[in-house]
Amino acid sequence: MAGDRLAGLDGRGTAVDREEYARLLAEVTAWVEGPGEKWAGVIESTGTVPQTLRTELRERGFLGLAAPRALGGAGLSFTQWMGLMEVFSRSHASIRMIVHVVNGTWRSMNPHATEDQRRRFVVPSVAGDITVAFTLTEPDNGTGADITSTVRRDGDRYLLNGTKHLITFGVDCDYWLLFARLEGSRGKDGTVGLLVARDSPGATVEDTSNTMGVRGTDHARLTFRDTPVPVANRLGQEGDGLAIALGGFLTPSRISVGMSCVGLAERAQELAVAYARRRVTFGKPIAARQAIAFMLAENAADIQAARALVMHAAAQWEAGAGDAAALSSMAKLTAVDMLTRVTDKALQVHGGLGYWKSEPIERVYRDARAQRFEEGTNEIQKAVIAKDLLDRAAAREEADA
């Protein structure tokens, strides 16, 4: 039945025991610090993520860690998954992006999927057998009810028209999880969520992957001209599009991006501390200079504060708290600003040498900038937080009246 929620299938109701979690944490940490670092060099030198890396991630089970066992995943709770996301984020940004997206898109699909759609799309996505690209953003609109890509019903199919851009994995995927609106409709009530096959006729794919950082992750601009999509590929009902796009996906995804900022900041700090200890001036390591030591101390405090807020937001979402959406925006906003400060100071500790590609901090610094717009800019997060704040104040005033 569409919308059927078996126990734990929304990602909130399952967890593994401490021993299993400790084993997974050790396995992920060892991989990130070993093979992951080698893969980072390959990605940077080639500008692509090799298929053999995706295969390795799939075979190790890293693409299904956050999903419940009923879908073929490892059954981690969301807070447990955040602990592993923190470690993955110390690796190359494209590796982090793969595990973040694949471990999250099932949340958007599953609550609205039929049993047949779970079998065809959700379970294979969790297993890493297919790649589903989240496809919402448009070049001339925001990422909400103002989307203008349209569909019109034609028998047992829809005909899709419109343009999408900044679509992660939009080039190298099997399906686009795409959001459009019924032709002639307005607002959220006319929106639909569709799984569109990558090889659909009338679909044009432009590779726009030449980015400042996060090298290796493909991005696409997509154009659709009367592209046929089976009605059987629609998730939920007509009018459910925005609920599918935002309801079960955006809040936990923003928290996950917040944690990815924490993990990347920890990597920047690790590099800064190591460099400060080995770099010698006037007979002393620069770590002995108060100016350097204070930057490292500020970074340490900054990272811990952001991590605490991210984990609080994760626990609140896991518990189904009403303030989880606002907290997710607070966590993402705070963590992004923290990452900006930490990577800037980490680069400063390296001096001029940090600007060269021979130093790993150069890549970390570039990759950090992408987090500022992933899952919404800081300005969007502030708008979400302010609305929640003012709505709650109005509700209290009404209750007291």
In this prediction, residue 249 has a pLDDT band, given cuts at 50, 70 and 90, of confident
Residues 6 or more apart whose CB falls under 8 angstroms from that of 295 comprise 272, 345, 348, 349
Which tens digits make up the pLDDT trace of 53-77?
Answer: 999 999 999 999 999 999 999 999 9
pLDDT band at 13 (very low <50, low <70, confident <90, very high): low
**What's the pLDDT band for 303 if we cut at 50, 70, 90?**
very high
Q: Domains in the chain, ordered, with CATH?
A: 18-130 (1.10.540.10), 133-241 (2.40.110.10), 249-396 (1.20.140.10)
pLDDT band at 248 (very low <50, low <70, confident <90, very high): confident
- Out of 375, 379, 397, 398, the active site residue is 375
pLDDT value at 207 more than 90: yes
How sure is the predictor about 313, in pLDDT bands with cuts at 50, 70 and 90? very high
Residue in this structure with the two tokens 């940490």, named with its chain if needed: 29
What's the pLDDT at 392? 95
Distance CA 165, CA 222 (A): 6
Average pLDDT over residues 264-288: 98
What mean pLDDT value characterizes the chain?
94
The string of pLDDT tens digits covering residues 83-141 is 999 999 999 999 999 999 999 999 999 999 999 999 999 999 999 999 999 999 999 88
Q: What is the pLDDT of residue 261?
A: 98
Residue 143: how many other CB atoms lie within 10 Å: 18
Question: Can you give the pLDDT at residue 6?
Answer: 42
For residue 376, the Cα-to-chain-centroid distance in whole angstroms is: 11
Please classify residue 18 by burial: count the beta carbons closer than 10 Å to its beta carbon, then call 0-12 exposed, 13-18 middle and 19+ buried.
exposed
What's residue 188's pLDDT? 81
Residue 395 banded pLDDT, cuts 50, 70, 90: very high
Whether residue 115 lies in the annotated active site: no
- Residues ≥6 apart with Cβ < 8 Å to 340: 368, 372
pLDDT at 100: 95
- Would you give the end-to-end CA distance of the chain in angstroms? 44
* Cα–Cα distance for residue pair 103/81, rounded to 1 Å: 9
pLDDT at 10 over 60: no
- The model's confidence at residue 7, banded by pLDDT at 50, 70 and 90, is very low
CA atoms of 358 and 352, how far apart (whole Å): 12
Encode pLDDT of 145-190 as tens digits.
Answer: 789 999 999 999 999 999 999 999 999 999 999 999 999 998 888 9
Q: What is the pLDDT of residues 325-376, one digit of tens each?
A: 999 999 999 999 999 999 999 999 999 999 999 999 999 999 999 999 899 8
